[in-house]
Structure 1
Amino acid sequence: MTSTAPVSLAALAALLADGTRATFCLALLDGRAWSAGELARHAGVAASTASEHLSQLVGGGLLAEERQGRHRYVRLAGPRVAQLIEDMAAHAGLEAGARPATLRAASAARALAQARTCYDHLAGRLGVTITDALTARGLLRQDTGFALSDAGLSWFSTELGARLPGGGRRPLARPCLDWTERRHHLAGTAGAVLCATALERGWVDRIGSGRALRLTRAGQQALAHLLGLTDLTVRPAP
C-alpha cells in the first residue's frame, strides 16, 4: 500500500513554494490578524491575486480566516504552523547573507534582528538575550530540552506577576531556532506570556505594522530589575 505522506508533504511544500504566499506567511508571524487588503499591499500584488493565494493557504490548513462584514481577516492557523514557518526561515537562512538593496531595507533588517515577534513570543537579539538570562539564573533549563525549573515557575508568578495557564496541548516551554541569531529563544506558553506581558506593560513597542519591536526605557529598567540585564540598548523611535 503506497503511503500518502510523500503526497501530503509535496502539497505542503507547494503551498510555500510561491513567493507571494511565503511573504504572507512571514508577515503573519507577527501573531496578528491581517486583512486581505493589507497583505496585498504588503506583498505588492493585486487584491484579486491576494484573494486567490489566501484561499489556497486557508484550504491547505496554514491560515485561518475570519470575516467581519465585507472584510476578510486571516492569521496563522496556530503555534505549530508558526513554528513550521520560523523553522523553515531559519533553515533557508533568510536575511543572513543578503545585502539589503536600500537604506530603508537595511534599517528594517537591523530592527528585525534586534527585536521582533515570532508569532506570539520574543525573538531576535532581545529574545535570545532574555532566554540566556533566564538560563543563567536557573529559571530555564536547556540541558534536557527547554523546561522551566521550579524557580522559573515561581519567577513568572511572583517576580513577573504573570499567570501561566495550565493544561492544553501546547508545551509550557520549547526552543525556537532564531533565524537571525542562529540560536534558540524561548517559545511555548511561557514565551507567549512573557511577550504579551512586555507588550501590555509598554516594555516594547511595535515599529510600524510589521514584526519589529523597539525596547523602551521602561523595558530596559524592567529587564535590569528582573533579570539583571543592564547592557540592553534602547533603540530611538523611528
Structure 2
Amino acid sequence: MKPFINTLKILKFRWKTLLQPFLVETELEQKVFFDLVNAYSRPERFYHNLQHINQVLEIIEQMKSHSLDYIPVQLAAWFHDVIYDPQAQDNEEKSAEYAEAALYSLKIPQIIINRVKYLILTTQNHQALPTDIDNQIFLDADLSILGATQGEYQTYAHAIRQEYSWMSDVDYQIGRQRVLTQFLQRERLYLTDYAYTNFEKQAKHNLQLEATDLSLKIKLSREKTDDNTSVF
C-alpha cells in the first residue's frame, strides 16, 4: 500500500503543477484527477496503471530539454491508457475521446486538446514523423519499460500476462510472440537519441529473451498436442 500512496502523492503534485498555467478551478482539477486515478486503479490493471503513468511522465521529464511543446506531451501521458480493455480494438480512440471531454471541461485550449488526441492515437502503431520530436519523446517514454532491468522487465511481462488472463496459455504465447517479433524486426526500437542510447541495447536483450522463452513454450505445447492426438 505504501508504494501506491507514494506514487499517488507524486502524481497529484505532477497534475497540479501541469495545470497551473491554465488557472483551473481547484474542485474541477481534483475531480478530473480522481477520475483518472479511479480508472487506472481498477483491479484488472496489472500493468496499465498509475505506476505506468508515473514512469512515462518520469521519462518524458528526462527528455524535457528536447521538447518543443512540453504540455501536450505530458497531458497525452496522463490520458493515453485511461480506457484499456485487452479484448477491445479501440482503446486508443476511446482514450482520445475521454481526453477531449476531460480537457474541454478543464477549459484547456482546443489547439492543445487536438494535439493531445493526435499523440494518443499514435500509440496504435508507435510510429512518429521524423520531424515530430514531441511525438517521438512520448512514444519512447511509453515503451521505456522494454529497456528496464531484466528483473523489472520480467515483472512487466508477468503483469501483461495477467491482463490477458482470459486467453489460454498457448493463444497468449503465440500472440505475444507475434508482438515481440514485430518489435525485434525494427531497425531501432526508440526514435529519440536519448532513449536509443539509454534503453535500446537492454530492450533488445529483454525482448529476445522473452521471445526465446515463448518459442520453447509454444514448441512444447505443440509436441504435447501431437502426443495426445497420436494413434498407436
Pairwise same-fold verdict (TM > 0.5)? no
* Structure number with higher strand proportion: 1
* Structure number with higher helix proportion: 2
